[in-house]
A and B are shown apart, each in its own frame.
Chain A
Amino acid sequence: MAEKLLAIHGLHAAVEGKEILKGLNLEINKGEVHVIMGPNGSGKSTLVNLIMGHPKYEITAGSIAFEGEDITALKTYERARKGIFLSFQNPEEIPGITVENLLRTAKNAITGETIKIMAFKKELKQAMESLKIDNTYAARHVNVGFSGGEKKRNEILQMMMLNPQLAMLDETDSGLDIDAVRIVSSGVKHFKNEQNAILIITHNTKILEQLDVDYVHILMNGKILQTGDASLISQINENGFLHLGGDALDSGEVNTLHG
């Protein structure tokens, strides 16, 4: 039997008093690739930010367990040290901190030991090459002056270097041109193994082409409306989310559909 990595049960969550997730269930096992699709405003980003422990979101009911342990009381960095990673939809610009410094500090924090500088530099160089990131970017300040695509590739670089157990990619493919999606996608493929898992939020299928997707979840109105295999993706692409249920119509969220 597969080993359970993430288990979310009956999750309700609110931001600034407004309920966004309304009883969400989700289980992810090691070795699996999950995709979450859904219209804008359905709660996809809220979900991954909650798993990462963003202070703006408040859990009102339900639980999030990682490797059998409830993590809802843990600080963000404690979750990261357990092996949870989020590739941000809009990565922060952090002036004064170089990409290399961030990664070295983070890797020390996560592994709990001081890494060897030469080995680290070599690993970083290789990872950057595989993502076709110019090696001068190691000395640049995190995301400052980066294009949208460069920011996203920098997120994947961090994922590869920190080697988490659960990687959550929040629209990592949006804003990327077709070549960049291919580079990111092969990076993700390279990262994937039987001991880790990936949760991908996307509007696009290009990023999924090189991956074996195990489950596709449709998130609407704060709940998982439907779960299926990879074939669900093509259904959504043909018919959109509209045919899946009336809830979205009531809330007017269909107006923001794209994808």
Chain B
Amino acid sequence: MDKKKTVVEDIDRGLYDIKNKDRYRYKASKGLTPQIVLDISKEKNDPEWMREFRLRSLEIYNQTPMPTWGPSLHELDMDDIVTYVRPDTEMKGKWQEVPDDIKDTFERLGIPQAERESLAGVGAQYDSEVVYHSVKEELVKQGVVYTDMESALREYEPMIKEYFMKLVTPNDHKFVALHGAVWSGGSFVYVPPGVQVEIPLQSYFRLNSPGAGQFEHTLIIVDKGAKLHFIEGCSAPKYNVTNLHAGCVELYIKEDASLRYSTIENWSRNMLNLNTKRALVEKNGSIEWVSGSFGSKISMLYPRSILKGEGARADFNGVTFAAGGQVLDTGAAVIHAAPYTSSNINSRSISKGGGVAVYRGAVKVAANAHHCKSLVSCESLMLDDLSRSDTLPVIDIQNDEVDIGHEAKIGRISEEAIFYLMSRGISEQEAKAMIVRGFAEPIAKELPLEYAVEMNNLINIELEGTIG
């Protein structure tokens, strides 16, 4: 079979690329100084402890070196990034009240429709602030809190103070220190003991302002025996300047509680996505990550699960699709810190047209974590020889009562499989697309249906014109 290589310059990302006029009420100056941090804090009416926290984080940020590993971040110049943009609107509880252009953007992304059809609550963030938040009445009655972080800071201050950036501390790395200094927006969810939230909650993050950073903070506490599915979606139109996303997600899963955290990330290709996500799981609790990474220019994203209580479990299902010009350095880390804990990591990556997909992972078993089990499976598909695919897992085991397995495979689409499908009347291009979709299927099947469809659409958009 002839190997044909067609490289697509740039693809039409359709509705994701719609730009609105950069309309804002307050925009911080570019770059980062204590004065800017103080200005943001003042603009947001922070309590004093939060203002001090921001300033301390800024100090740590200034002292912390850039990472010595991973993709090159040389093009990131903080002097060019606007850390805070307040859109010209207050937060709304009714969709009709959201300004038209912002509303249109979310309409096109299908957010209100999804809310009507299949979600229990929705939050929408536009640049640095949440512009819309709603949650179904019956959940409120059960004591479920779903609100934006700023409101949470006012209304649930003691709880925020107890949990905010305690799991991911500003000392962790340079970009969480930055996040600690300039964070804005994001969601807070609290599910009281025993409450089962059967329908997902969703937050959607949209970055519209060129050259801006988005630093939303998501804090979720699922109390004892409770259950939640939370969905996060991200996108931005493409500008010729670098945008930075350094969000932070902290998930606390208490005894016997479970949380499923799904993300479809489709940032535009000028975005540096340096996001930090972490879950702390107590006894018999479980965290399930479902992650689809399609967008951004550079991503560094490795959700970390800390299994702190006996019998806690973590699952990670992730698919990464790196096209030309993208370096998607993604993966997962699990710390087994208690006996009888288990984890399962399943990662699929696809690279094409010069894209670079990296799986970076770690499984660490502490000395006391006897009888733990972990299985890691990584598969990479290379669609041409312009692309790269690297697999960089580390396994660190500090006791002997364990059952740990890791396997990885790399290769391209089997020509025999293409022939088999073509012998059933399916065209070559469709056969290849089917195989790629099939490759991502184990992850897609973990997503809610409309997101699985969106993921397949994203794969189809990526494959159009590329193979054939």
Chain A residues with a Cβ under 8 A of chain B: 52-55, 75-77, 79-81, 85-86, 88, 91-92, 94-97, 101-102, 105-106, 109-110, 141, 158, 162
Contacts and interface: CB of A to CB of B under 8 A. Distances in A.
Contact of B435 (A75, A76, A94, A158): A94
A92 B424 contact: no
B423 interface: yes
B415 to A, nearest CB: 7
B430 interface: yes
B317 to A, nearest CB: 13
Given A77-B425, A77-B428, A54 B419 contact: yes
A133 B414 CA distance: 27
Q: Point out which of A53, A55, A96, A110 has the most chain B C-beta atoms below 10 A from its C-beta.
A: A96
6 contacts: A75-B428, A85-B423, A92-B416, A95-B441, A97-B438, A109-B425
Interface in B384-426: 414-417, 419-426
Contacts of A55: 1, 415, 419
A96 B421 contact: no
Nearest to A96: B438
Given A94-B438, A95-B438, A77 B422 contact: yes
A52 B423 CA distance: 7
Contacts of B416: 92
Given A80-B425, A109-B424, A109-B425, 19 more contacts: A53-B423, A54-B419, A55-B415, A76-B423, A77-B423, A77-B424, A77-B426, A80-B426, A92-B416, A92-B420, A94-B435, A95-B442, A96-B440, A97-B434, A102-B424, A106-B425, A110-B425, A141-B438, A158-B424
B424 A106 contact: yes
A75 B440 contact: no
Contacts of A53: 422-423
Interface residues on B, range: 20 to 34
Contacts of B438: 94-97, 141
B151 interface: no
Nearest to A161: B424
A88 B422 CA distance: 13
Nearest to A55: B1
B142 interface: no
Interface in B412-468: 414-417, 419-428, 430-431, 434-435, 437-442
B435 A97 contact: yes
B415 A105 contact: no
A174 B243 CA distance: 60
A79 B427 CA distance: 11
A105 B430 contact: yes
A158 B441 CA distance: 22
Nearest to A168: B423
Contacts of B421: 77, 94, 102, 106
A192 B430 CA distance: 30
Q: Which 8 A-B pairs have the closest CB atoms?
A: A96-B438, A96-B441, A76-B422, A80-B425, A106-B424, A110-B425, A55-B1, A92-B420
B425 A81 contact: yes
Nearest to B437: A96
Q: Point out which of A54, A91, A110 has the most chain B C-beta atoms below 10 A from its C-beta.
A: A54
Contacts of B419: 52, 54-55, 76, 92
Nearest to A105: B426
A169 to B, nearest CB: 13
B441 A94 contact: no
Contacts of A162: 424-425
